[in-house]
Chain A
Amino acid sequence: MKALLAAWALLLPTPAFAAALEGEVQRQPINWVAIAMFVAFVGLTLWITKAAAARTRTASEFYTAGGGITGFQNGLAMAGDYMSAASFLGISAQIFTDGYDGLIYSTGFLVGWPILLFLMAERLRNLGRYTFADVASYRFAQPPVRSFAAVSTLLVVSFYLVAQMVGAGQLIKLLFGLPYAAAVVIVGGLMMLYVLFGGMRATTWVQIIKAVLLLGGASFMAVMVLAQAGFSLETLFARAVEVKTQAALATGASADQAAQQGRAIMAPGGFIKDPVSAISFGLALMLGTAGLPHILMRFFTVPDAKEARKSVLWATGWIGYFYILTFIIGFGAILLVGTNAAYLDGQGALRGGGNMAAIHLAHAIGGNAFLGFISAVAFATILAVVAGLTLSAASAVSHDLYATVLRHGQASSADELRVSRITTLALGALAVLLGLVFEKQNVAFMVSLAFALAASGNFPVLILSLLWSGCTTRGAAWGGTIGLLTAFVLTLLSPAVWTTTFGLGDAPFPYSSAAIVSVPAGFLAIWLISLVDRSPRAAIDKAGYPAQRVRAETGIGAFAASDH
Chain B
Amino acid sequence: MQDEQDRLVAAVAADPRYEALVARRSRLGWTLSAVIFIAFVGYLLLIAFRPALLATPVGTGITSLGIPLGLGLILLAIALTGFYVRQANRHHDAQMAAIIRDHGA
| A residues lining the B interface (CB < 8 Å) | 100, 103-104, 106-108, 110-111, 113-115, 117-119, 122, 233-234, 237-238, 241, 263, 266-268, 271-272, 274-275, 278-279, 282, 286, 306, 309-310, 312-313, 316-317, 320, 323-324, 327, 546-547, 549-551, 553-554, 556-557
Contacts and interface: CB of A to CB of B under 8 A. Distances in A.
Given A107-B70, A234-B61, A320-B75, A274 B48 contact: yes
A281 to B, nearest CB: 9
A60 to B, nearest CB: 19
Given A107-B74, A267-B54, A547-B6, 12 more contacts: A107-B43, A107-B77, A111-B77, A114-B36, A118-B32, A234-B63, A266-B57, A268-B54, A279-B41, A546-B13, A553-B25, A556-B105
Interface string B27-42: 0111011001101110
A104 to B, nearest CB: 6
B77 A556 contact: no
B55 A114 contact: no
Contacts of B61: 234, 238
Contact of A275 (B9, B28, B48, B78): B48
B71 A554 contact: no
Contacts of A312: 81, 85
Interface string B73-105: 111011011101100110001001001100001
Given A118-B84, A119-B29, A266-B62, A278 B77 contact: no
Given A268-B51, A278-B47, A554-B12, A103 B67 contact: yes
Given A266-B62, A556-B100, A110 B74 contact: yes
Given A117-B84, A118-B29, A118-B30, A324 B71 contact: yes
B85 A309 contact: yes
Contacts of A278: 44, 47-48
Nearest to B86: A313
A283 to B, nearest CB: 9
B77 to A, nearest CB: 5
B40 A111 contact: yes
A554 B100 contact: yes
Nearest to B70: A103
B40 A100 contact: no
Given A100-B64, A286-B40, A557-B5, A313 B85 contact: yes
A275 B42 CA distance: 11
27 contacts: A104-B44, A104-B70, A107-B73, A114-B36, A115-B37, A119-B29, A234-B63, A238-B61, A263-B55, A266-B66, A266-B67, A271-B47, A278-B47, A279-B44, A282-B41, A286-B37, A316-B78, A317-B82, A324-B74, A327-B71, A547-B10, A551-B9, A554-B96, A554-B100, A556-B5, A556-B100, A556-B105
A549 B10 CA distance: 11
A111 B48 CA distance: 18
Nearest to B36: A114
Contacts of A557: 5, 9
- Interface SS of B by simple majority: helix
Interface of B: 5-6, 8-10, 12-13, 18, 22, 25, 28-30, 32-33, 36-37, 39-41, 43-45, 47-49, 51-52, 54-55, 57, 61-64, 66-67, 70-71, 73-75, 77-78, 80-82, 84-85, 88-89, 93, 96, 99-100, 105
B67 A237 contact: yes
B89 A306 contact: yes
Given A234-B61, A317-B78, A118 B9 contact: no
A557 B29 CA distance: 23
Nearest to B93: A306
A100 B66 contact: yes
B33 A118 contact: yes
Contacts, number: 164
A268 B64 CA distance: 10
Interface majority SS (helix, strand, loop, mixed), chain A = helix
Contacts of A100: 54, 64, 66-67, 70
B16 to A, nearest CB: 14
A111 B73 CA distance: 8
B49 to A, nearest CB: 7
A350 B36 CA distance: 37
A114 B80 contact: yes
Contact of A114 (B13, B77, B100): B77
Contacts of A551: 9
A550 B105 CA distance: 14
Nearest to B39: A111
A268 B40 contact: no
Nearest to A120: B29
A320 B74 contact: yes
Nearest to B40: A111
B46 to A, nearest CB: 8
Contacts of A107: 40, 43, 70, 73-74, 77
A425 B12 CA distance: 46
A107 B54 CA distance: 15
B43 to A, nearest CB: 7
Contact of A556 (B9, B47, B57): B9
Given A313-B82, A556-B9, A234 B62 contact: yes
B88 A556 contact: no
Contacts of A279: 41, 44-45, 48
A238 B33 CA distance: 36
- Chain A CB count within 10 A is highest, among B28, B47, B63, B96, for B47
Nearest to B61: A234
A239 B52 CA distance: 21
B54 A103 contact: no
A316 B62 contact: no
